[in-house]
Amino acid sequence: MTERPSEAGSRFSSPGASAAFDLVLIAMMWILGVAVVNPIGNFPLNDDWAWSMSVKRMLETGAFRPLGWTGMTLVTHTLWGALFCALFGFSFTVLRFSILLLGLVGVLACYWLLREARAERKFAVAGALTFGFCPVYLAMSNTFMTDVSFATMTTLSALFFLKGLRQDSFLFTLVATVLAVAATLCRQLGLFVPMAFGCSVLMSERVSWRSLLRAGTPTLITAGSLMIFEYWLRKSGRLPDSYVGQGLVLREAVREPVHFIATSVKNTVTAVLYLGLFLSPLACLMRLPPRQVRTWVNWTANAVFLAFIAGCFTWLLVNHKTMPLRGYVLVPQGIGPLTLRDTFVLHLPNVPALPGWFWCLVTVVSVLVGGLMLRRFTALLAGFYDEPGCRGLMRQRLLVFCLAGSLIYFLPLARAYADRYLLVVIPLLVCVTVPPDGEELPFMRRRYAVGILAALLAVAAFSVMTTRDYLTWNRVRWAALATLVKKDHVPLTEIDGGYEFNGWYLYDPTEKFDVPRGLWWVHNDNYLLSSGDVPGYEVLRRYEYSRLLPPGKANICVLIRRTNSVAPRVVLTGMESFAAQRRPEVTVAVSRLCE
C-alpha cells in the first residue's frame, strides 16, 4: 500500500532548500571535527594494514588477492580504496580520506533515512549528528577499516528499501538490492538488510505469491551474489584462512550450548549499554508512545526498564566494572586500540587513562539510556497494532524493518562481539526512536532542545579530542620507528613495533603469532616500542607529546633489552623470506611514513 501525500503529514513537507541547509550544516560540522582530529599521516591503524595490502596488490596486479588475515568479503571496500589510490597514488593518508568521504556520506544518509521515517528536520539533524559524532564512528572514519564503509552501504540500502516500501516502487527496491549486494561484498553480514526488508513485507501484507516474491527476491539475489563470490575465491585459490574460520563460531555454540548462551546474554547486555551511550544525546526523546490503547503496554515497558536497570547496576557493582566493558575502540584512555605490547598485552599504565569518576558517569548514562531505549522498543512492539490506517501500516513496516534488521544482524555477533560492530544498527535504532506523525514532539520545547544540544556538544568534544589523541599517539610512534630503521639502521626483524608495524612489514601467513605475549610476527624483540617503561628493557630514546584528554604530556619510548648494550649483528636465516627480501623497499617506505 502506497502512502498518499495527504497522509504523510504536513510536518514532513518542506522546501528542498531547507533540506539543503540541513545537509550543509551537518557536512560543515563533520568537516570541522575532522580538521581538528588531523587525519594526515602515512601509517596504518588497527587492522587496516591488511586491507591496505589488498589495495596495494590490486594496484600492482589488477587482481583482488586478500591476505590470509582477511575474515570478510572485502572486495567493494578494496575497490573503493583502489579507486582513490589510482587517482592520487597509494598512501595510508589517501585511503583514510577515502573512508572519511564515505563517513560523511553515511551521516548524510542517516539524515535522509530519518526524514524517510517522517522525522522532524531538527530531529533528523540531531539524529545524524548523534551517529556521525559517535566516538567509535568518528574514530573508525579516520582509518581504512571496513566498519564505516559497511555502515554507509547498509544505511543507504536501508534508505532505499524504506522508500520502496513506502512508495511500492520497484526501482527503489532494485537500487536498495544493489546496495545490499555491495554491502555484503564488503562484509557478509550485509545480508541482514534484505532479510529485514523481507520480514517487513511479510508482516504487513497478506501472504501470497506476489508478497513472497517481493519479500524474498532481494535476499536471494544478495545471498546468490555472496555464494558466487565465495565459489570464485575457492576455485581461484584466494579464500583466506581467516575467512573460513568465521564459520567455526556456530560449531562451538553447538558443542558448548550453555557457555554459548551465557556469553550471548552477557554480550547482548553489553551491546545495549554501548548503544545507550551512543544514543545518549537523544535520551529525552525515548519516551513511551502516548495515547496507548492498552494500559498494560506501558506497565510492561516500565517493568522491562526497571528490571534492566536493577540487573545492570547489580551486575556492575558485584563485578566492580565500569564502562568501557569491552575495550576495543573505546578504551580507558579514550580511543584505541593502543596496540603496543605494554598497553595492549601487559596493560601497563603508560598512557594516562581518563579519571574513574568520568567512567562512572558514562556507565550511569549508558545504563539509564539503554533502559529507556528498551522501554520504548517494548512499548512499540507491545502496541504494534494499535495505530490504524495507512500511517499505522507504514509505522509497522518501519518498526519491523529496523528492529528485525538489528536483531538479525546482531545474532551472529552475540558470541564474538566488539563495540565497533554496533555502528551499523545505530541509524536503524534512531529511526525507531522517531515519534510517529501526530505524536507530540518534545523537541520543540526549549529545555529538550537545549538538553539535546548540550549532550551532542559533549559527545562531539569527547569524540574529536580522543580521536585526535589517538592519531597523535600513532603519529609520534611511527616517527620513532622511522628514526630507528632509517637513522639507526636496525633490521626490521629485531623490532617489535606493535601490531600494525609488524603486520605491514613482517606478516607471514605461515608463521603463527603469539597473542598472549603480544608478539605479532616478531622474529626478535631486542628493540621494543612502548608508551613507557617495560621490565627487562631500558630506554634508548624518548619522545614526548601532548594529550587533550586527559590534558597533559605522554611519551613514546624506544626500548632496548638490558642484556644488549649495542645493536646486535643479525644473521638472517630462512625466516627472512617476507621481510628481508623487501628490505630496500621497506627502508624507503619507513623513512616516508610521516611525510
Arithmetic mean of pLDDT, 482-493: 94
pLDDT category, 18, cuts 50, 70, 90?
confident
pLDDT at 295: 75
* b/e map 539-567, b = 16+ CB within 10 Å: ebeeeeeebbbeeeebbbbbbbbeeeeeb
Model pLDDT for residues 474-484, shown as the tens digit of each residue = 999 999 999 99
pLDDT at 587: 40
Q: DSSP string of 498-529?
A: -HHHHHHHH--TTS--BTTTTBSS-S--SEEE
More confident residue, 266 or 145: 145
* Average pLDDT over the chain, rounded to an integer: 86
Cα distances (Å, whole numbers) of residue 495 to 199, 253, 570, 583: 53, 39, 12, 14
Of the candidates 430, 440, 452, which has an alpha carbon nearest to the alpha carbon of residue 114?
430
Model pLDDT for residues 265-324, shown as the tens digit of each residue = 889 999 999 999 999 999 988 877 665 556 777 888 899 999 999 999 999 999 999 999
Model pLDDT for residues 20-39, shown as the tens digit of each residue = 999 999 999 999 999 999 99
Percent composition of the chain: helix, strand, coil (DSSP 3-state, to 5):
65, 5, 30
* Alpha-carbon Rg for the chain in angstroms: 25
Contact 45, 336 (CB under 8 A): no
- Residues with Cβ within 8 Å of 363's Cβ and at least 6 positions away in sequence, in order, are 273, 316, 322, 323
Amino acid, single-letter form, for residue 72: M
pLDDT at 381: 81
In three-state secondary structure terms, 418 is coil
Model pLDDT for residues 187-232, shown as the tens digit of each residue = 999 999 999 999 999 987 778 888 899 999 999 999 999 999 999 9
**Percentage of the chain with pLDDT > 70?**
84
Q: Would strands 495-496 and 334-335 be described as parallel, antiparallel, or unpaired?
A: unpaired
> Is 394's pLDDT higher than 80?
no
Model pLDDT for residues 81-131, shown as the tens digit of each residue = 999 999 999 999 999 999 999 999 999 999 999 999 888 888 899 999 999
pLDDT at 6: 38
Instruction: Return the bridge partners of 529, or none.
Output: 558
Arithmetic mean of pLDDT, 354-373: 96
This prediction has a pTM of 0.90
pLDDT at 447: 72
Joined together, the cell numbers standing for residue 371 give 533502559
pLDDT at 204: 75
Amino acid, single-letter form, for residue 328: Y
